Amino acid sequence: MSGGSHLLGCYPASRVTFVKGRGCELWDSEGRRYIDFLAGLAVVSLGHANPEIAEAMAEQALRLVHVSNLFRNEPAEAVAAELDDLLGGGGRVFFCNSGAEAVEAAVKFARRWGGGRRTIVAAEGSFHGRTLGALAATGQPSKREAFEPVAGGFRHVPFGDAVALEEALDDDVVAVLLEPILGEGGVVVPPAGYLRRVRELCDSKGVLLAVDEIQTGLGRTGTWFAHQHEGIRPDLVCIAKALGNGFPVGACWVTTRVADAIRVGDHGSTFGGQPLAMAVARAVLRELKRVDAPARAQSSGARLAEMVSKIPQVEQVRGRGLLLAAEFGRPIASDVAERAIENGVVVNAVTESAIRLAPPLVITDEEITEGTERLAAAIEEVCG
């Protein structure tokens, strides 16, 4: 635990205390300014201290913060309708407070739909959250082993391998759960056509396709949702992170055939879908549309990828839109991230050999240039 802190040591100790943000900039308690290339782990897509979001939050807080889900509220109906529209229509939405909760909901909804079938197939290297059900779905044994037994009924296959997935779809499988791009697994894009093949396999086997868009959703990869790059329609979609631009909110969208299987009392959340959270989400969706978030992710992502790829020590830049990883080919990512902070740019080590770049979607060309120059200097200092 860091000196003088009463916080439980679940996170790496940091010497930096951020006290203020504006757009893609952060300031620490010493008054130093930083370029944010991480957006709170792909959360703050509209930038820090966004005035439109703050105004919506304050207005709703003065009107109505919370009522039980025993009653309807207007903001929740509006946000559900907007998400359904972005996902092609014809679905229903369950609201919760985080991405892990959205995954937990998706698992329960899929199993309810499937009757006696229980097994869910996920990908090796995937990350779906740290609650016990989401952890069971996560394809990284090192994150699970200390907490066994986690929930049963999960099976993992190599990401991007449609043949291995087909072999895993036996009669007990009810759903396939995938990230369209592995986020915490290293920002790994599957082979072209993979998601379309998965959709075909799910249809032929009578299995649901659940897509975890918690990190990739709401414009970050250049489409509203990353699975839309391949033109498929999932049966369930998990959403969080950008939906609240930093306010804790999550959602699980399901198609009508899944929704029809859900019964009153199957699932719930005390705070999920409450008016304050929904007013924030409604403002976020309005702003994401106004700034054309997918187009910004495409153009700014291309510029950032091009500039970072020119740094001599970077072997590869992978990802889509403004969800990128810079690969070094050797285990220096933690050192680079730490030196980058010292140089005034925020990134994180997503693997031992790669850093993640996921800035706010509203980042400017000038901020991309300044942040990349600071990052390049940090890499040079680490590599000598």
Annotated active-site positions, please?
127, 212, 241
Phi, psi of 20 (to 5 degrees): -155, 145
Task: Please give the helix or strand (H or E) that residue 241 lies within, else none.
Answer: none
345-346 and 250-255 as β-strands: parallel, antiparallel, unpaired? unpaired
The CA distance from 136 to 76, in Å, is: 30
Contact criterion met (CB below 8 Å) for 353 and 17:
no
Return the number of other C-beta atoms located less than 10 Å from residue 74's C-beta.
Answer: 12
The CA distance from 164 to 370, in Å, is: 44
Quick one: which of 225, 229, 290 has its CA closest to 251? 225
345-346 and 33-36 as β-strands: parallel, antiparallel, unpaired? parallel
> Tokens 């396709």 label which residue?
209
Please count the residues of the chain: 384
Pull the structure tokens for residue 277.
Answer: 């959270």
Phi, psi of 311 (to 5 degrees): -70, 125
Phi, psi of 303 (to 5 degrees): -65, -45
Task: Tell me the C-alpha to C-alpha distance, in Å, between residue 141 and each of 76, 145, 148, 178, 356.
Answer: 37, 6, 10, 16, 21
Task: Tell me the C-alpha to C-alpha distance, in Å, between residue 307 and each of 226, 300, 372.
Answer: 23, 11, 7
